[in-house]
Amino acid sequence: MRLLQFVPIKLTLFLVFGILLGNSIDFGLPLASATALIPFCITLFTYLFFNKRRNNSNFFGIMAMLTTIGIGVLAVSFSEPKNRPDHYLNTNFQGNHAFHVKVKEVLKPTAFSKRYIVSVLALDSLQVLGKVQLVLPNDSIQQGLRIDDELLVVSHFESIHPPLNPYQFNYQNYMQGLGIYHQLQLSRGSFVLLENPSKTVYGTAAKLRNSIISKLREKDFGAEELSIIQALLLGQRNDISESVYTSYKNAGAVHILAVSGLHIGILLLLLQYLLKPMERFPKGRTIKLVVMVVLLWGFAFLAGLSASVVRAVTMFSFVAYALYLNRPSNTFNILALSILFILLVVDPKLLFQVGFQMSYAAVFAIIWVYPLLQRLWFPKNRLLRKVWQLLSVSIAAQLGVLPISLFYFHQFPGLFFVSNLLIVPFLGLILGGGVAIVFLVLLNVLPDFIVRIYDSLIGWMNSIIGWIAQQEAFIFTHISFDGVQLFLSYLIIISLVLVLPRPTFKSIFIFFIGVVLFQSWLFYSIWENRDKEILVLAHQTRSSILLHQTGTQLNIISTDSSRTTRLANDYRIGARIKKLEHGPMRNNYIWQGRKLWFLDSLGIYPSASPSPQYVVLTQSPRINLERFIDSVRPKMLIADGSNYRSYIARWEATCKKKEIPFFYTGEKGAYYFDLNIK
């Protein structure tokens, strides 16, 4: 199938290019508007006043391309806070203020706090807009906040901290991709929960979902089974335990836990089958279409109208319309239209969200690759044919999301096809039965025997997933995969898909060029690491960690090795480390001719000269720092995360008085030792 023969596909690619261009270059709102309006006006003027030239397809094709690129640039400019005068970033928001905020989303809580995304309605007496993260201590409010709750807050905005250690997940960039630049850290008594807040459709959906969850909790479901039911049917994953989530991730079935295109597609097929008798009535097909779309959006409402559900229902609403027109083969147009006109134009930042990328990559790959796999082999045996069809869908979807998955998550579940073969055929039964249970529990007529049957069904699914996840030999983890590899891997996959049905010189040439470039980049990355030596003092609370990289080996020196696992894995993936070594912390080291002392809680330090270039204060040593500096005369003092925060300010003031550089990892992140300090 030649994808570029579809006009919406072409326009979508141009729109994506425009969004990437607008995200890379700050055009400003006037110039961004001009990039969209000028080619559009030229096209309109030419069509109206030079009517005879309207059949010039090349001219109108170029103008359509430029207009669509301009729309992408303009959409990004409109989404930038600085181009919106009423955004709080364009006000004097520094210092303490009275904020009126409204809860938009409930995030998964941590061990110490509850977190929410809230929209800012007012700053003092000024009406503003914008989203921030709200953080509440666990003991500050008993029930927690709900969507649509409104608060009056007296506090100040804090920046969301960047990662403190190398190759750590950048939560700051992630939140900025969602349009969130600051957070409000509240304490007991610093806010007031307002009565009678305004209602929104999202709050109504959340209220209904919470009511369903409360009713389900009254039934005799197991804790793990109930958490999976909430994720499958209601889009609520906050109650899933870490062990269960890890099992689904390692089995390659984590997509089952997120209400997305897979679930909505299965529901559409079920509705298409169940509502087929309606076609016998006058206008039956039209009524059937309306009922299917209403029910799909009803399910989205039950699932809380999350972004992923809205995307999926939008796309499959187009698919339902295509089925109504008897044009299901036009799915590429449907996919492109749902991206182009409904989603990316409204919110261009979606393009940079992992869920959006994986969802559309999977659906696109299924639509494109699945028919090719069916043409490669079409078994005559009915059972074998069904197995091959399921396997083809799984392979196509995994092929589409593999580069993205490796780039973001750095692991590959080798038995993904087994979990999909065993679970996906029954997912329609699980979803259909689950929807029926939701309606029965809302009507308070859910029989206990149905509860036991469905609980057992979910339990069997968890057991199968758990067994697959235990096959650790087939789980490939800690895979280093960067942006260049992401681009080149998609080049290889696309050219390979083009080669398989009809090999041409061009497609074969592109495929081999992609393979050569991919291998060349790997060799270059290995060569670049060969002579690299880096010494880093990492930030870790209640522990001291020193990372020493020499080539592709990483030595991890720490006071508590049990607290180094995640930090070491992040560094291992990001720096392409092949070998890890662990060692205990000593009080003094020599690195590249520079002396490094660790001054711990005992306050004991070597008395030999010459003076050390670096002194690391760790485990809150009780010393007279001013006297220590006069005696030892270090070139630089560094405090890691194992020290009391109350000591840090005192040490920093002393160093400032003595004119000695001071570095605290809790504020500035990990310290990279510098050879320039003599």
User: What is the pLDDT averaged over residues 526-537?
Assistant: 89
Instruction: Report which residue type is found at 502.
Output: R
Left if phi > 0, otherwise alpha if psi is -120 to 50, otherwise beta: which for 560?
A: beta
**Considering the chain, what is the average pLDDT of its residues?**
86
User: What is the pLDDT averaged over residues 527-537?
Assistant: 89
The reported pLDDT for the residue numbered 327 is 66
The reported pLDDT for the residue numbered 618 is 93
Q: Which of 52-61, 63-72, 154-163, 614-623 has the lowest mean pLDDT?
A: 52-61
The reported pLDDT for the residue numbered 57 is 65
| Local confidence band at 652 (pLDDT 50, 70, 90 cut-offs) | very high
User: What is the pLDDT averaged over residues 86-102?
Assistant: 90
Peptide bond just before 610 cis, omega within 30 deg = yes
Q: Which of 135-144, 240-249, 526-535 has the lowest mean pLDDT?
A: 135-144
Strand (E) or helix (H) holding 482: none
Cα separation, 551 vs 549, in Å, equals 6
Please determine, for residue 132, whether its predicted confidence score (pLDDT) is greater than 90: yes
The reported pLDDT for the residue numbered 293 is 92
Give the ranges where 89-186 is alpha helix by DSSP (H).
171-177
Closest CA to 405 of 520, 461, 485: 485
Please determine, for residue 44, whether its predicted confidence score (pLDDT) is greater than 80: no
Please say whether the beta carbons of 537 and 557 come within 8 A: no
User: What is the pLDDT averaged over residues 3-19?
Assistant: 79
| Local confidence band at 304 (pLDDT 50, 70, 90 cut-offs) | confident
* Residue 133 β-bridge partners: 117, 183
| Local confidence band at 242 (pLDDT 50, 70, 90 cut-offs) | confident
Closest CA to 389 of 417, 362, 361: 417
The reported pLDDT for the residue numbered 485 is 95
Please determine, for residue 675, whether its predicted confidence score (pLDDT) is greater than 70: no
| Local confidence band at 332 (pLDDT 50, 70, 90 cut-offs) | low
Task: Copy the structure tokens of residue 245.
Answer: 């989530």
The reported pLDDT for the residue numbered 389 is 83
The reported pLDDT for the residue numbered 328 is 60
User: What is the pLDDT averaged over residues 243-247?
Assistant: 88
pLDDT tens-digit series, residues 135-194: 988 776 767 788 999 999 988 999 998 999 999 999 998 888 888 999 999 887 788 889
Please say whether the beta carbons of 262 and 256 come within 8 A: yes
